[in-house]
Amino acid sequence: MYSPPVDLSFKNIINVSVSESLSVVPRAGLRPLKTNSEGKHLSRSLRLNNNYITELDGLQFMLSHFLAQPSNLGWLDLSFNKIKLVEPVLCELRGLRVLYFHANSIWNLSEVDKLGELPHLHTITLHGNGIEQHKGYRKHVIFALPHLKTMDFSGVTREERALANVWHQCMKRRKDTKENLQ
């Protein structure tokens, strides 16, 4: 049985690769965190929300420091930080099912495409990022993440997925036509 999330929210973490971030003590919740004999947490969830994180270099090291089975991470909350890019380290989290990524600093919609490598990702939040301002934002994300069931706390319907596929084909044709005209 897994214990509740390891909660490192509101800890003023700036950089996940710095040794100071490894000395942070997780917040106590209503249910106690369970640990193994090495003192690592038996959790599949990590909260790093409401910090000042700008990049994720060192995330794997942090996961290994706090979690008994870092490869089993299924839920990651990175909301309310200052992250600008979807870094490759996120795509290495092959078991990730839920990613809270809202209220960061992502402006390039193509950053979301990188998360398409995650075979089990079914829930994501991206609202509050600059990408939300792009026309077709929701359709783009739904097309880019084929296993998505929930986006920005709203269910993804079959009809919406079909419309996203049609939208993508239209955008691709439009791009191809523009390139041929040049």
Q: May I ask the CATH class of domain 6-181?
A: alpha beta
Task: Tell me how far apart the alpha carbons of residues 26 and 182 are, in angstroms, rounded to a whole number.
Answer: 56
Buried b (16+ CB within 10 A) or exposed e, 30-43: eeebeeeeeebbbb
> Rounded to two decimals, what is the model's pTM?
0.93
Q: Give me the residue label for tokens 């994501």.
A: 124
Query: What pLDDT is recorded for position 22?
Result: 82
pLDDT per position in the chain (182 positions), as tens? 578 999 999 999 999 988 778 889 999 888 888 999 999 999 999 999 999 999 999 999 999 999 999 999 999 999 999 999 999 999 999 999 999 999 999 999 999 999 999 999 999 999 999 999 999 999 999 999 999 999 999 999 999 999 999 998 988 887 777 677 76
Q: Are 54 and 83 in contact (CB under 8 A)?
A: yes
Can you give the three-state secondary structure of 29-59, one letter per residue? Answer: CCCCCCECCCCCECECEEECCCCCCCCCCCH
Please state the domain extents for the chain: 6-181
> How does pLDDT run across 128-156, given as a tens digit for each residue?
999 999 999 999 999 999 999 999 999 99
